[in-house]
Amino acid sequence: MISRPTIIFSSIGRTGTNFFAELFNSVCQDCLALHEPDVLTIRKNKALKNTAKQINEIGGKYLWLKIRGSWSLVKISDDRFTGRIDKEFATKKLFEQRSDFIDFKTAGIYIESSIGYYGLLDILGDVFENFCAIYLVRDARTWVQSAYNWGKMYNKKGLKKVFVHNWPRADELFDDPYKNKWPEMGRFARICWAWRYLNEFALNSIEKDSNIKLYKFEDIFTSKVEDSKILDLLDYISNSRNIHIKYNREEVFLFLKNKINASKKGDLFKYNNWTGKQKTIFEDICGPLMDKFGYR
């Protein structure tokens, strides 16, 4: 097992995972926090500097494995979710992809913020000797809007469909209720499906492990920083097993005022301005889990 104390943040994206990596690196001592280290992101702003930073974090060996397509946690999660691999094989692959990588780091506590763990939460205890995990969920009304306007989900064409991560599909699952409907479902409906069923898979894992705690995006990123549960989250981590992080509370609140990776404006407006058809599709797919999470 991996012995270094480890903190995992995960979600299905659009929930501030990049923020948490930036936060821990800025305000916590003896921590190394990485945001999706196995993903290369080419940004338009400061592209060369950001890419060089990512390559340095990954290292030459793992960069080569990434280019070959054999170093990706989200692929393991996707394969687990769709049933292409079982729990035992997923555990083996997670250990292989993180054991040496984490051992090579020198910080006392390793922190990773990544969507790649959404399908692996129930096996963290089989891989990490000393860990705690946070799973973030966001109100589907704002998440669907953000994911749709982000533009990458169920919208890849050409070579991107071959070489870039493609989200799971209902028609890949044997018993999914939307399996036969998938070819006729538009991108909006597919994004709604992803919010419900990927989060549902993660939730089933969270309920089985006391070392994983669920937080709502809206409870962390509040309009007034003093209303945020960010300190509750940090206190939970600090009281987990042998993981003790040191931080300055004033610095945390100051950092929270900076909005990291804010949602882009796009073609899909806020929920109140959706069409009647969109609201019906949304309610049919997302409604049951919205109620379970207490969003209504």
1 within some domain: no
Which of 168, 118, 110, 83 lies closest to 13 in space, CA to CA? Answer: 118
Give the chain's domain count: 1
pLDDT at res. 214? 97
CB-CB contact of 134 with 232 (8 Å): no
CA diameter of the chain: 54
245 within some domain: yes
pLDDT at res. 262? 58
Residue for token pair 């250990």: 95
Mean pLDDT by 10 residues, the chain (296 residues): 96 94 92 89 61 78 78 95 97 97 94 97 96 97 96 81 83 96 97 98 92 96 93 91 85 84 73 97 98 94
Between CA 188 and CA 146 the distance in angstroms is 11
Which of 1, 5, 33 lies closest to 18 in space, CA to CA? Answer: 33
- Residue range of the domain that includes 267: 6-293
DSSP assigned state of 159:
T
Between CA 238 and CA 230 the distance in angstroms is 12
Between CA 41 and CA 55 the distance in angstroms is 10
CB-CB contact of 150 with 265 (8 Å): no
Instruction: Check which CATH number belongs to the domain holding 234 and give it.
Output: 3.40.50
Please tell me the pTM assigned to this model. Answer: 0.93
pLDDT at res. 159? 62
156 within some domain: yes
pLDDT at res. 194? 98
CB-CB contact of 111 with 21 (8 Å): yes
pLDDT at res. 135? 98
pLDDT at res. 204? 94
pLDDT at res. 59? 82
CA distances from 33 to 47, 76, 105, 140, 171 (A): 20, 21, 11, 27, 36
DSSP assigned state of 236:
H
pLDDT at res. 139? 98
Between CA 58 and CA 40 the distance in angstroms is 9
Between CA 186 and CA 170 the distance in angstroms is 13
Residue for token pair 């409906």: 189
